[in-house]
Structure 1
Amino acid sequence: MTGLSEQEFLVLNGVHLKKMATAKELASAVGLEVPVVEAVLNAAAGNDLLMVAEGKHLLLQDGTNAVQEYYRTVYGPMRSNDRVLEWYDRFETINEQFIKQVSEWQSTDGDERVQSRMIKTVERLTKNLQELTPLLPRYEIYVARFNASVTRVDQGDKDFVCKPTIDSVHNIWFEFHEDILSVIGRPRDT
């Protein structure tokens, strides 16, 4: 499996961003049907790109290399696209706000006012993502995932703010940040 197809990339990138995930979690995260995801995962495991431990999938080094090569090959032109780079610079301001709000929310044991500001920040990101989706149509799935988690928060389920084992707002944000950094070719610490 050298030179990933778009479908293979979507699934393996989902594993890359989630670190460890079941086929069902990946299907939901990347917008594909579970049988399609399972077929890609099985082929990738057979090609030593990932391993399976208790039903969860984890990329091996060759799998990570294949995902990073796809980013370089397919998204290379975006690394010098002024529209994308300007969007990312604006995102960093929103990202800083979000990180502060998450920390404040955690330190105040889920204060409603902080939570409200955090949700408004997420809604601002999802609105801004519409600027990128013509260039990166797969980012529509982030909008859908954020909306689903925000709905759960609005219904009173605070687990969907930051709980690490579900598709919480914080987890989706973290995955999106990793994804956009890979698209533009920047390491996480910049």
Structure 2
Amino acid sequence: MTVLSEQEFRVLNGAHLKKMATAAELASAVGLDVAVVEPVLNAAAGSGLLMAAEGRHLLLPEGTSAVHEYYRTAYEAMRSNDLVLAWYERFETVNEQFIKQVSEWQSTDGDERVQSRLIKTVERLTKNLRELTPIVPRYETYVDRFGGSVARIDQGEKDFVCKPTIDSVHNIWFEFHEDILTVIGRPRDT
């Protein structure tokens, strides 16, 4: 089993959460400089943890196992931490609202009122994430990413609501949800 350093975990976890991404996309997603990310990706490709194809990176099964092992060891105490588990239960309520709002936004072709409620929900999550950043400092990157996407939406770029090929609030939310589930050791269908 490959044991990852914190930096390797951040980069490979970014690849795990994004599925297929360029070095620049991963650097942005994990809050590291691309000059730091590229050598990690190259080393991981060399050791069979991921593959690169046309400038995009895909985590392979051994890489996924290494990422999951890091989660298990680094976040083991959080799986029984009452503060974190209570935070997650509150998140699930907000998550249900967000999913409904995204569906409504899509079905109304981007209605401004629905979009406003959706953005308020994203801002609520961002505020709530501040409770977890002292425990999981890398979650500050989600706060930054949400802020950047909301700013783009505020400037009239509606694609940043849920376009699948950019860092939209929907994509960031999806990645965060998978991340927090893995931190607390719950499967996605729970």
Report the equivalent of 1:157: 157
Matches within 5 A, 1:59-74: 59-74=59-74
Q: How far apart are 1:7 and its partner, in Å?
A: 0.2
Q: How far apart are 1:186 and its partner, in Å?
A: 0.3
Report the equivalent of 2:78: 78
Paired letter, 1:19:
K
1:122-179 superposed Cα distances (whole Å, 9 cap, x missing partner): 0000000000011000000000000000000000000000000000000000000000
Q: Alignment identity in percent?
A: 82
Matches of 1:76 and 1:53 in 2, distance apart?
A: 34
1:62-101 superposed Cα distances (whole Å, 9 cap, x missing partner): 0000000000000011000000000000000000000000
Matched, 1:13 2:6: no
Matched, 1:87 2:87: yes
Q: How far apart are 1:2 and its partner, in Å?
A: 1.5
In structure 2, stretches of 5+ residues that fail to align are none
Superposition misfits of 4+ residues, deviation over 3 angstroms: none
Paired letter, 2:7:
Q
Matches of 1:62 and 1:113 in 2, distance apart?
A: 45
Matches within 5 A, 1:24-173: 24-173=24-173
CA RMSD of aligned residues (A): 0.7
Matches of 1:59 and 1:155 in 2, distance apart?
A: 34
> TM-score if structure 2 supplies the norm length?
0.99
Structure 1 residue matching 2:75: 3-state secondary structure: helix
Structure 2 residue matching 1:177: 3-state secondary structure: helix
Structure 2 residue matching 1:4: 3-state secondary structure: coil
Paired letter, 1:131:
E
In structure 1, stretches of 5+ residues that fail to align are none
Q: How far apart are 1:28 and its partner, in Å?
A: 0.3
Paired letter, 2:19:
K
